[in-house]
Amino acid sequence: MSGAATVSSSEAHKLVWEGSVPLLIHLHDSEVTTLPPPPPALVLAPRLGYLPLLISQLKPYFSTTLPPGVDTLWFEYRGLPLKWYIPTGVLFDLLCVEPERPWNLTVHFRGYPSNLLLPCEGEDSVKWSFINSLKEAAYVTKGNCKNVMNMSQSDQVELWRSVLNGNLESYQRVSSKLKLGTFEDEYTENISAVSTASQQNSGEADAAAQVKSGRIPVRLYVWTVTEDFDDLESAPQIDNWDKISYINRPVEIQKEDGKYFSLNDAIKSLLPEYFPGSSFDNLGDASTKQSVGDEGENTCDPDSSSLPLENAEIKLVRIQGIEPCLEIPFSWVVNNLMNPEYFLHICVCLKVSEANALQ
C-alpha cells in the first residue's frame, strides 16, 4: 500500500477495515491432554479487532484436549503475554518487526497471569475497553464525552456490532452521529487525493495548511535501538513490555501559515525529550516552565539544569501495517488511518545513543 499516489478517503477506509493478520495459533503444551496434540488453528484476524474476540473461532479446535477448568483466554508471542486491549493490527506491527505471515501465537485457556494482564471476561470486557477509549477520544477532541454518553442503546449496540463484524458501512452510519472527525469540515476528496510523493506544489501545501487548532487522540508505541539495522530481521526482539514506551497523549495541532503539519511533526511533538529542536512542543504552557521551590528538602528535586539531548533518529513508523512517508500531512493520516475508537495508533522505532535507550 505504500507508494499509493492517489487513494481516496473511502478507498483508504475500506482498505483499513478489510486489513487482517493471518494467525497460526498453537495451544500451549501444558494444556494439551491428548495425543496426538491438536494442530494449530489458522485464523484471519481483523486488524481493527481484538484477540479475545477470536475465542468462538478457537474453542472448537481445542475444546476436546483442554484440561478441566474454566476458560480464561490469553495469548503470548515468544513468551510475551499480549495485552488484549491493544488492537490486533497494532500488536502485529509492534511486536513482529519483520512481518511473519502467518503470525505464530500461543494461546492459553488456563492460568491467566493476572499479576501482569488486566482481567478479561470475554466480549464484555473488550467492549467496555473500546467504549472507554471512545469516550477518551471524544474528551480529547471535544472536551467532554456527552456525545458518547448520550448515544441511544441501539446505536451503541450497532456501533459495537459493526466493529465486531468489520462492517464499515454500518459503522459509518452510527459513528457519523458522534461528529468526532476533527478535519471533517476542512478536508474533502481533493485533499485526500494529494500525492504522497515528496514533491508537492505550493498549491497543495496551502490547502493542507487550512487546519484548525485542536487535539488529536494518539497512542504512540515507541521502542529504541542503539544501532542501525540493515534489514528488519536483525532488529532486536521485543521480549518485555518495559522495552516499549507507551505514550497516550494527544497531538496538539498548531495552525501555522504557509506550513502544513506533517506526520513527522506530529511524532516529534510527542517526543520532545528526543527532539528538543522541534518547533511544536506539546508539554504544556510555556509560561509555567519555571523552577518551582528551592528548599533543600523538596521532594520534587529543584535541579532544573537540563542537559540537551542529542537528536534521535526515527528509523521506522508503522500505522495500520503501512510505513507512510513522514512528510504526509498529518491530517490525512488521521482521517484515513484511525481506528474505530477514534484513536490513531502509531508504532515508532527510534535510534538513540546507548545512554538514552529504553532498558
Least distance from other proteins to the Cβ atom of residue 76, Å: 15
Least distance from other proteins to the Cβ atom of residue 108, Å: 17
Residues 92 and 22 sit within 8 Å (Cβ to Cβ): no
Q: Measured from the CB atom, is 154 or 288 closer to other proteins?
A: 288
Cell numbers for 315: 528509523
Least distance from other proteins to the Cβ atom of residue 47, Å: 21
Could you identify the residue written with the cell 479475545? 52
Least distance from other proteins to the Cβ atom of residue 299, Å: 5
Least distance from other proteins to the Cβ atom of residue 39, Å: 33
Which H or E element spans position 221? Answer: strand 218-225
Q: Measured from the CB atom, is 63 or 240 closer to other proteins?
A: 240
DSSP-based three-state secondary structure for 148: helix
Which H or E element spans position 48? Answer: none
Is residue 258 packed enough to be buried (19+ CB in 10 Å), middle (13-18) or exposed (0-12)?
exposed
Q: Measured from the CB atom, is 213 or 306 closer to other proteins?
A: 306
d(Cα 161, Cα 130) in Å, to the nearest integer?
12
Least distance from other proteins to the Cβ atom of residue 104, Å: 23
C-beta neighbour count of 342 within 10 angstroms: 23
Q: Measured from the CB atom, is 114 or 237 closer to other proteins?
A: 114
Least distance from other proteins to the Cβ atom of residue 128, Å: 9
Q: Measured from the CB atom, is 133 or 320 closer to other proteins?
A: 133
Which H or E element spans position 350? Answer: strand 344-351
Contacts with other proteins, residue ranges (CB under 8 A): 83, 85, 114-119, 132, 135-136, 139-140, 143, 145, 217, 241-242, 245-246, 248-250, 272-273, 276, 283-285, 287-290, 292-293, 295, 297-301, 303, 305-309, 355-356, 358
Q: Measured from the CB atom, is 202 or 290 closer to other proteins?
A: 290
Sheet of 218-225: strand order equals: 245-248, 218-225, 344-351, 313-318
C-beta neighbour count of 163 within 10 angstroms: 26
d(Cα 335, Cα 332) in Å, to the nearest integer?
5
What residues are paired with 107 via a beta bridge? 27, 75
The closest of 111, 153, 109, 114 to 131, measured between CA atoms, is 153
Q: Measured from the CB atom, is 145 or 178 closer to other proteins?
A: 145
d(Cα 166, Cα 160) in Å, to the nearest integer?
10
Q: Measured from the CB atom, is 99 or 246 closer to other proteins?
A: 246
Which H or E element spans position 317? Answer: strand 313-318
Least distance from other proteins to the Cβ atom of residue 73, Å: 16
Which H or E element spans position 89? Answer: helix 88-95
